[in-house]
Every structure is written in C-alpha cells, then in structure tokens.
Amino acid sequence: MGQQDVHYSDYLQLDKILNAQLPESDKLQQPAHDEMLFIIIHQAYELWFKQLLYEVDSVSGIMKKPSVNDNSPELQTVVHRLSRMVSILKVLVSQIDIMETMTPMDFLDFRDMLRPASGFQSWQFKILEAKLGLKYQHRFGQQYYVSQLRQEQVDLIKQVESERSLIELLNDWLERMPFVDEVKDFWQNYRHTYVTSLASAEQENQAFFDGVFDDASANEERRLSPKACRSALFIMLYRGYPILQLPFQLLNNLLEIDEQLSTWRYRHMNMVHRIIGTRIGTGGSTGRDYLKGALDKHYIFAEIARLTSFLVERRKLPALNAELEGKLGFVHG
C-alpha cells in the first residue's frame, strides 16, 4: 500500500492541541483574560519537558554501553543532544518573560480557582531531575516532593530513581578513561604544580584537593568518584588535544544544563515573589521560600563545576610524554 497524504493539521493533532485549553474562569463564568496565557505557557513547558526527557533517554542509552569511543559518531551524538537540551532550557527561561506580562492583579482574577493545582505537580520535571541525577536525599523540601502527585506518578518517579542516572553513567565513562592513570608520576607532579600555585590565603585548598582526588576520600555521598574527578580535570586541562575536544564539550554541556536549570529556578522564584509575594503556593508549598531552597540545593553537576578550583595556567601544565601526546593527537606510528 502506498503512503497516504499527510495533512499539517492531522500530523500535529491540532484539533486536540488547540482545544486543550479549558479555563476554570470560563467554567465558573467569571472571565479572567490572562488564564488562557497561563494555561498555554504551562502546556508549552510540559511539551518541552517531554522533549528533554526524550533527549536524555537517548543520551543515557549511548552512555550505558560498555565502551564509548571518544572519537566516534556516538560521542558526537551525545554532545549534540546535550547541546540541544541546553537550547531548550534557554527557551524555558525566556518563556518567563511572557509570563511576567501578567500582573499580580491579573493572576488574582483566577488564582484561587486553581487550588490545589500547582506547578509543583509537574511529574515530568521531577522525572527529568531524577534522570539527570538529582537523588531524593539531595532534594530540598522532601516533605512536599510527591505529596501532591497521583499514585501512578509517584510510582513512575520512584522507578526512574531506581535506575542509573546520567551522572552515574558519566562517572562510569570517566572512570574508563585511561590517560591520567597511565602516566607515571603525572598526578604527583600535577599536585605539586597546583599546590605551589596557591596564594597564601588559599593554602586550605591543598587539603581540599586531596579530599576530591585521593582514592581514600571516596564515600557514598559523592556522585563522582576520585578517579572520575581526576579524568574530568585531565580533560579540562588538556582539552586542546583533538581526542579530548568532544569529552570537554560533553562536560561543558552538563555544566550549562545545570546553569540553565538554576537560571530557570531563579527567574521562577523572582516571578513568584513579584506576583504573590510571601503567600503560599496553590499546591500548599511555601512559595518563594521553597523555590529559594531548591535553587540553592538542586545542583546536579556541582562536582564537575568545582573542578575549576584546581586548574593551573597553561604554561605551568606538566609536559606529557611523546607516547601520550600521540594518543591524544591521533598520531599513529
């Protein structure tokens, strides 16, 4: 059978999408003009969350493989899709500009009609955080976390939390990188270079360095092992070599994802404070205070970000031997 003609409206299911806005204010015959905007923006958020989940699942699927060639189309695909996630998150941040065209009085026209509905009930966003690596024990406001969700949504989130997250897969991938532990005396030399570069007021960073990179410092609270941290720092230090370009972009995209999520939370917090002040959220949370706590605590890739504390100037980097330079530069004998 030949393929049937596809129509734009049918392909996009526009009949369903464009008839999915049912303002409570219309049902109650108390017209509130801005409720339509409120619904559409949140529906758009949920569609973008769906796409983010689709992308992170594809990235995790690649990272789960026992071996990922650092100069392969697979790693290029990972970097590309993480970059797409960054672009989507920037759109989520920019949508707040549209939301902020709604004044506090505009919102009050329909706010009480929404109870107990709340953005806190976005199970897709909670799943996204869990897939990236935000564990329950690291969450702010655990008493609210699933209190407003339906049981099937709670079950789905718990299932995701039991699976390996992206940061755990990242840890496995970094631990497989051989270079830094292949080079005799490299780590001792780098530690000496770093310690001697510290200003007098930074001497406590010496102990901080050992706490991050020494194998004896491993514990269950860490998301990245000392070996993974050594590999990540090595990538940052020697990213100029061709084979480390994609790994560096991967790490950088993860930091950008964290930054955009943080920016989104910050903008959301300020918007909530501007519109409802210190009142509690429609779902029963503490409103701005909850958002502030989440902003401060919900960094997923913070252990990568803090590695910048241990960088030294390029001119002070320990020289690599010819064999390793060949591996990093695609030189074959």
* Contact between residue 230 and residue 105 where contact means Cβ atoms under 8 Å apart: no
* Contact between residue 328 and residue 243 where contact means Cβ atoms under 8 Å apart: yes
Of the candidates 144, 78, 77, 105, the one whose C-alpha atom is nearest the C-alpha of residue 283 is 144
Q: What is the C-alpha separation between 28 and 186, in angstroms, rounded?
A: 71
Q: Which amino acid appears at position 141 of this protein? A: G
Of the candidates 32, 91, 107, 115, the one whose C-alpha atom is nearest the C-alpha of residue 283 is 115
Q: What is the C-alpha separation between 223 and 229, in angstroms, rounded?
A: 10
111 is in an annotated binding site: yes
Residue with tokens 């990922």: 68
39 is in an annotated binding site: yes
Classified as helix, coil or strand, 133 is: coil
282 is in an annotated binding site: yes
Tokens of 287: 């409103």
- Phi-psi sector, 332: left (phi>0), alpha (psi -120 to 50), beta: beta
Tokens of 102: 């709604």
268 is in an annotated binding site: yes
42 is in an annotated binding site: yes
Q: What is the C-alpha separation between 250 and 130, in angstroms, rounded?
A: 19
CB atoms within 10 A of CB 286: 15
Q: What is the C-alpha separation between 53 and 43, in angstroms, rounded?
A: 15
Classified as helix, coil or strand, 116 is: coil
* Contact between residue 234 and residue 180 where contact means Cβ atoms under 8 Å apart: yes
Q: What is the C-alpha separation between 170 and 228, in angstroms, rounded?
A: 8
Going from the C-alpha of 16 to that of each of 4, 33, 54, the distances in angstroms are 21, 22, 21
Q: Which amino acid appears at position 176 of this protein? A: R
**Binding-site entries:** 38-42, 111, 268, 282
**Binding-site entries for heme:** 268
**Binding-site entries for substrate:** 38-42, 111, 282
